[in-house]
A and B are shown apart, each in its own frame.
Chain A
Amino acid sequence: MAKRYRGFKIPVKVGDEDNKRKNPPDNSKLNRIIEEVEKSGEEALEDIEISTDIEENFQIIQKVFKDCSDLVVRRFTIGEQSVKCLTIFIDGIVDKMRFTSNVLQPLMLYIRMTPQEKEFKKEDLIKSLEYSSITLGELTEIYKFKDVAKHTLMANCILIIDGNTTALAISTAQWQARGISESTTENVAKGPKEAFIENIRANTALLRKKIQSSNLKMEVLNVGRFNHNGIIIAYIKGIADEGILNEVRRRIKRIDIDVVIESSYIEQLIEDDSFSPFPQMDVTERPDTAAAALAEGRIVILVDNSPFVLIVPTVFANLLTSAEDYYERFFYITLLRILRYISFGVALLGPSIYVAITTFHQEMVPTSLLVTFANARADIPFPAAIEALLMEFTFEILKEAGLRLPKAIGQAVSIVGALVIGEAAVQAGIVSQIMVIVVALTGIASFTIPKFNAAVTVRFLRFPFVLLAGTLGIFGIIMGILFLLIHMASLRSFGVPYLSPFTPMTLADWKDTFIRLPIWLLRKRPSFVKPTNINRIKKGLRPKPPKHH
C-alpha cells in the first residue's frame, strides 16, 4: 500500500500559519453555522460538510455537543509533520482500551516508524491512515457533520484530520449491557436457557448462531429521532413472504417518533387493530422461539434496547404455544395443548359461567351439586355477580401488588392475601368457598397460557363476561362469545386472518395447533404464513431402526 504514496515528493508543511491565513474569510460562514446549531441543535447539521480547517470543525463539534459532559475530545498531531488531528467519542460507550491501542498508538507512535511517514501528503492522510494505520475492523468514511454527530452517538470514535474533508468513524463501541442470562418470562424445563438482552447486536448474534445462512437477512431501519441503532427486521429470504415483508417495512418506515424505549412501542405503532384486546404479535425473549419462527417463514422484528423481539404474523394458535412444545414427546404436548385450550376457556369464562348458573340456570347442574352450591351460598349477602367481581378485583389487586413489590415483600403479600382473603372472607361469610375455588381456579388457569400478553387479554375480558353473566345469564355469555368470535374472525395480523388455521380452515395446518404431531410429520410450514417455500422437512424421516433377528 505504502508504494502508492511513494510518488509524492514534496512534503507539505502543515502549520498554524496556514490555518490562520485561511480563517478570516470563512469566519462569517462558521458563525452562521454556529448560530444555527445554537438555534436548532443537531438538525442544523443536515447539510454541513466537514471543513478542511480543523479549528472550524472543532468549534462546530463543541457547539453541537455543548454541555455534553460525556464527550471526550482528544487533540494530537501526527508524525514529524505535526498534522493536527482530532478524535472525539462519548465516554462510557466506547472501549477505551481499543481506542488507545488501535487508534491513538498507531497514529501517535507507530506511524513515526514507517519509512513513508515523511512523504505523506496532508490532504491524503486520511486515506493513508485508513488503509495502513488504524487497526480496527469497522471504519466508515464520513463527510458531513450530521454523520459525525450520529456516529459519535453510535459509540464510534471520530477521527478528523486537518486539511481533510473526510473523517473516519472508527467502531470502538462497547455498550453497557448485561450478560446473556436465563429467560425470566418464558421458562422451560428442557431446551435452551439463553434469552435476548438489551443489546441488539448481541441479539442478532444469538439468531445468527442458530441460523447460519446468508439467507437470514437482517435489514436495519431507523425510526427513532433520538435512536440510531433502531430496528432490525430479520427474515429468511426464500421462505418469508415478500408481501408481508413489504407491509412490515412500510409500517415501520412510517413511524416518526422521538425515542423508542422498548419493542412494545413498535408493537403498538404497527399492529393492525389497537382497540382489540388480543395481541396481534408474538413477543418473545427466547432466541429459540424467534429462530423457529424465522424457519416457519415468519418475520422477527428486533428493537434495540429491548430484550423482547416481535414476531409477525401471529395467529391465535401461536399464543397457546410454548417453546418447549417442540422439545417434549408429542403425546404429552398434545395433551398439554388441549389442556391449554380448555384452561383458556376456564380462565375466560370460569366466574361468569358460575354466576350465570347460580343466578339464572340452576336447572343446569346436577341436584347434589346444586345443593352444595346452595349451602355454600346460604348466608352470603351479595348477589353472585357482585361476589364474583369482588373476588376478581381482590385477585387482581393481589397479583398487581405481588408483581410490583420487591421480591422479598411480594412473598408476604401473597401469604397475607391468600390467608386474609381466602380464609377470613369465607369465615366472615362475605364470599362463599365455591367462589374462592372458582376464582382461584380461574387465576391458575390463566397462568397456563404460555404467552403473557395473551394471559392479560383473558384477565381483562373476564370482567365484562361476569357483568354479562350477572345480567343476562348464559344468554349474555353466548352473546359475549359471539361478539368476541366475530371480532377475532375479522382481526388480521399483517394480512393473516387471526383465527387461521381454524377459520379460514386449512386442515393440514391443524397439525401444530391443539395437537402437535411428531417433528417428522411437520413437513410443511404453516400455509397461513404464506411461505414462499412450503416444504420444510424431507418426506419419510420417520425413524426406522434396522430390524434385528
Chain B
Amino acid sequence: MDFMRRIISLVLTIILLVSSTGCWGKRELNEISIVSATGIDVENDGSIRMTVLAVTPISSGKEIAANRSSTWIGTATGTNITEAGKNLRSIATKRLAWFHNSVIIISEKAARRGIKEFLDYFVRNREFRLENYVLIADRSALETLQIPADIEKNLPAEINGLIDNIDEWSKSYVSKLKDLLVNVSSSNCCSGIVTGKFGYTESERNTFSTARELYKRMTEDDKRLGIAYLEGSAVIRGDKMTGWMSGNETRGYMWITDKVKPGSIVVKGNESEGSLVMENMRNETNIDVDMINNRFIATIKVKVLGTLMEETLKVDLNSGEVMERLENAISGVIVGEMQAAVNKAQKDFKTDIFDFGGYVERKYPKLWKKVKDDWSRLFSEMEVKFEVDTTIRRSGKITSTVYSDIR
C-alpha cells in the first residue's frame, strides 16, 4: 500500500538521519572542565605559558566533595600560545572548554612584549567570547591565578565581582577583548587602550571572616595571606604595554572618555579645617578637537551632577554663593585628575588613549590623512583645555551642616 510505504520510508529516514549524526559534536557536561580564567605568561626562554583555572564538576551533596576542590589549575608551556594550549591536555583529565572563560590575565612581562599574537589566537578561537575581560597582572599570570579565593567560590568569580564594583568607585577601568581588538586595528599609529591592573598584596589582610570561631582558628600565616585587588590600570600602546596609571589618573582618563561611574571627589579645605566630598551621579563629556594656528587643541567639556556625601567645611550650604564656590572647587579637582591623565599620556606614554586622533579623523578627514603618521608627536604636543561644570544637585538626607554654630 502506497500510504504504508510512505510511512515506513519516513520512519526509516528519521532513524537513519538520527543515527547517522552519531551525536556529532556531543559533549556531555560531566566530560568537560569549564575553564573560567586563562593566564598568559612569557617565559625567560621566550616560550609561552598558558595557565587555566577550570571548574570541574563534583557531585554535590556527597562526602567526598568536601575534600575535593572543584577548581583545577593547569599550566603548560609551548613555543606559541596554541602549542601551550594543546600541551595543557597532557595534564588535563577532562576536555577543556573555554566558552565560559570570562577573564584573560596577561602578565606585565608578556604585555610589554606585545599581545598581538595572543589577541589573534583569542579572537580566532571560537570558544573565546569577545566579551572576555582582559587584565594585566603586576606579576606572572601563573602566580596570579594561584591566589586563593577569599569569599567567592573561585578566583574568576572574585575578579568578576571586583570588575562589577568599578561602577561604585571608578578608580580602575577594564577593557574587553573586543576593545583591544578595535585598538590594534586602529588607523591611529599611537592609539592606546587602558585596562585594569590586577594585583595581589600580601602585606596585610584586608578582609576577614567575622565569624568568631573562624577568626580564632586563623593562624598568623592565614592572617598574612594577602588579597587580590583591582586598582589603577595598564596603558597599552598598539599591542604593547607602556606603563601603569594610578587610580586617580585612571579616573581622569575615564572622565575624558565619558566612562566614569559614581565615585568620590574630595575637596580639601584650607588649613585642614575640613573637607567636602561629592559623589558624581550623572555626568556627560563632550570632546571637541580644533585646528587653530597649526596646532591641535582639544576642548573637553564635562558636566557633572552630584550628591554631597560629606561636608565638614563649616559653610552655609543654603547660600547660593557658597554652593557656587564649592562646585567650582570640585570642578577644579576633576580638572586636576584629567590633567594628570593627559600629562601621563602625552609625556610618559606618548599614547593617544583618549582617541583624540579619532576626533580629528572625523572632523578633518583630509587633514588626518596627512598628519596621521606624525600623530604621535602631534598628540604629545597638543593643547588640552578643560571646562568642567559641576552642579551639586542634592545634599543628602540633611540640607545644612551638622555644626551648630553655623545654624
List residues 241-257 of chain B with CB under 8 A from any CB of chain A: none
**CB contact under 8 A between A359 and B55, given known A367-B102, A472-B21:** no
Residue of B nearest to A359 (CB): B26
Contact between chains at A380 and B30 (CB < 8 Å): yes
**CB contact under 8 A between A360 and B25, given known A367-B34, A467-B18, A471-B18:** yes
| Segment at the interface with A among B57-65, B276-284, B340-348 | B57-65
Determine if A185 is an interface residue (Cβ-Cβ < 8 Å): no
Complex Cα spacing A275 to B6, Å: 12
Determine if B29 is an interface residue (Cβ-Cβ < 8 Å): yes
Complex Cα spacing A374 to B29, Å: 5
Contact between chains at A377 and B36 (CB < 8 Å): no
A362 partner, pick from B21, B29, B36, beta carbons under 8 A: B29
Contact between chains at B26 and A383 (CB < 8 Å): yes
Contact between chains at B25 and A473 (CB < 8 Å): yes
List residues 67-126 of chain B with CB under 8 A from any CB of chain A: 70, 97, 99-100, 102
Complex Cα spacing A24 to B157, Å: 110
Complex Cα spacing A380 to B30, Å: 8
Chain B residue contacts of A383, Cβ below 8 A: 23, 26, 28
A447-471 contact mask (Cβ, 8 Å, vs B): 1 or 0: 0000000000000000000011011
Determine if B32 is an interface residue (Cβ-Cβ < 8 Å): yes
List residues 15-39 of chain B with CB under 8 A from any CB of chain A: 18-19, 21, 23, 25-30, 32, 34, 36
Determine if A488 is an interface residue (Cβ-Cβ < 8 Å): no
Contact between chains at A367 and B30 (CB < 8 Å): no
Determine if A17 is an interface residue (Cβ-Cβ < 8 Å): no
**CB contact under 8 A between A376 and B59, given known A363-B100, A367-B36, A367-B100:** yes
Chain B residue contacts of A374, Cβ below 8 A: 29-30, 32, 34, 55, 57
Cβ of A385 to closest chain B Cβ, rounded Å: 8
**CB contact under 8 A between A370 and B18, given known A360-B25, A360-B27, A362-B34:** no
List residues 367-403 of chain A with CB under 8 A from any CB of chain B: 367-368, 370-371, 373-380, 383-385
B305-333 contact mask (Cβ, 8 Å, vs A): 1 or 0: 00000000000000000000000000000
Q: What's the interface size class on A, roughly?
A: 20 to 34
**CB contact under 8 A between A468 and B18, given known A359-B23, A375-B58, A379-B59:** yes
Determine if A41 is an interface residue (Cβ-Cβ < 8 Å): no
Contact between chains at A378 and B97 (CB < 8 Å): no
Contact between chains at B29 and A359 (CB < 8 Å): yes
Residue of B nearest to A473 (CB): B25
Chain B residue contacts of A363, Cβ below 8 A: 99-100, 127, 129
Chain B residue contacts of A362, Cβ below 8 A: 27, 29, 32, 34, 97, 99-100
Complex Cα spacing A275 to B18, Å: 22
Contact between chains at B29 and A373 (CB < 8 Å): yes
Chain B residue contacts of A471, Cβ below 8 A: 18-19, 21, 23
Cβ of B27 to closest chain A Cβ, rounded Å: 6
List residues 163-218 of chain B with CB under 8 A from any CB of chain A: none
A375 partner, pick from B32, B70, B102, B157, beta carbons under 8 A: B70
Contact between chains at B29 and A429 (CB < 8 Å): no
Chain A residue contacts of B18, Cβ below 8 A: 467-468, 471-472
Cβ of B31 to closest chain A Cβ, rounded Å: 10
Contact between chains at B23 and A375 (CB < 8 Å): no
Chain B residue contacts of A384, Cβ below 8 A: 28-29
Determine if A156 is an interface residue (Cβ-Cβ < 8 Å): no
Contact between chains at B23 and A470 (CB < 8 Å): yes
- The interface centre, meaning the residue of B23, B29, B36, B153 with most chain A CB atoms within 10 A of its CB, is B29
Determine if A203 is an interface residue (Cβ-Cβ < 8 Å): no
Chain A residue contacts of B129, Cβ below 8 A: 363
Complex Cα spacing A375 to B57, Å: 4
B1-17 contact mask (Cβ, 8 Å, vs A): 1 or 0: 00000010000000000
List residues 208-267 of chain A with CB under 8 A from any CB of chain B: none
Contact between chains at A378 and B23 (CB < 8 Å): no
Residue of B nearest to A382 (CB): B28
Chain B residue contacts of A377, Cβ below 8 A: 28-30, 57
Contact between chains at A370 and B34 (CB < 8 Å): yes
Cβ of B264 to closest chain A Cβ, rounded Å: 31
B59 partner, pick from A378, A468, A470, A473, beta carbons under 8 A: A378
A263-292 contact mask (Cβ, 8 Å, vs B): 1 or 0: 000000000000100000000000000000
Contact between chains at A378 and B25 (CB < 8 Å): no
Determine if A358 is an interface residue (Cβ-Cβ < 8 Å): yes
Chain B residue contacts of A468, Cβ below 8 A: 18
Cβ of A513 to closest chain B Cβ, rounded Å: 32
Complex Cα spacing A512 to B397, Å: 51
Cβ of B232 to closest chain A Cβ, rounded Å: 27
Residue of A nearest to B3 (CB): A275
Complex Cα spacing A407 to B21, Å: 45
Chain B residue contacts of A360, Cβ below 8 A: 25-27
Complex Cα spacing A119 to B281, Å: 115
- The interface centre, meaning the residue of B27, B30, B58 with most chain A CB atoms within 10 A of its CB, is B30
Complex Cα spacing A120 to B102, Å: 108
Chain A residue contacts of B55, Cβ below 8 A: 371, 374
Cβ of B203 to closest chain A Cβ, rounded Å: 32
Complex Cα spacing A368 to B152, Å: 12
Residue of B nearest to A367 (CB): B100
Contact between chains at B32 and A359 (CB < 8 Å): no
Complex Cα spacing A379 to B55, Å: 15
Cβ of B347 to closest chain A Cβ, rounded Å: 42
Complex Cα spacing A275 to B11, Å: 13
Chain B residue contacts of A376, Cβ below 8 A: 59-60
Cβ of B376 to closest chain A Cβ, rounded Å: 40
Residue of A nearest to B157 (CB): A368
Complex Cα spacing A380 to B28, Å: 10
Complex Cα spacing A314 to B21, Å: 38
Chain B residue contacts of A472, Cβ below 8 A: 18, 21
Contact between chains at A370 and B23 (CB < 8 Å): no
A18-46 contact mask (Cβ, 8 Å, vs B): 1 or 0: 00000000000000000000000000000
Complex Cα spacing A358 to B30, Å: 9
**CB contact under 8 A between A378 and B57, given known A362-B34, A367-B34, A471-B18:** yes
Residue of A nearest to B98 (CB): A363
Contact between chains at A359 and B28 (CB < 8 Å): yes
Complex Cα spacing A373 to B70, Å: 13
Residue of A nearest to B62 (CB): A379
Complex Cα spacing A313 to B25, Å: 45
Complex Cα spacing A384 to B57, Å: 15
Chain B residue contacts of A378, Cβ below 8 A: 30, 57-60
Contact between chains at A379 and B23 (CB < 8 Å): no
Chain B residue contacts of A358, Cβ below 8 A: 28-29
With A358-B28, A359-B27, A471-B21 known, 15 other A-B pairs at CB within 8 A are: A360-B26, A362-B34, A363-B100, A371-B55, A371-B57, A371-B70, A374-B57, A375-B59, A376-B60, A377-B28, A377-B29, A378-B57, A379-B59, A385-B23, A468-B18
Residues of B near any A CB (own CB < 8 A) = 7, 18-19, 21, 23, 25-30, 32, 34, 36, 55, 57-60, 62, 70, 97, 99-100, 102, 127, 129, 153, 157
Residues of A near any B CB (own CB < 8 A) = 275, 358-360, 362-363, 367-368, 370-371, 373-380, 383-385, 429, 467-468, 470-473
5 tightest A-B contacts by CB? Answer: A363-B99, A374-B57, A378-B59, A378-B57, A379-B59
Q: List 30 A-B contacts (CB under 8 A).
A: A358-B29, A359-B27, A360-B27, A362-B27, A362-B100, A363-B99, A363-B100, A367-B34, A367-B100, A370-B29, A370-B100, A371-B34, A371-B70, A374-B29, A374-B55, A375-B57, A375-B60, A377-B29, A377-B30, A378-B30, A378-B57, A378-B58, A378-B60, A379-B62, A383-B23, A383-B26, A384-B28, A429-B59, A467-B18, A471-B21
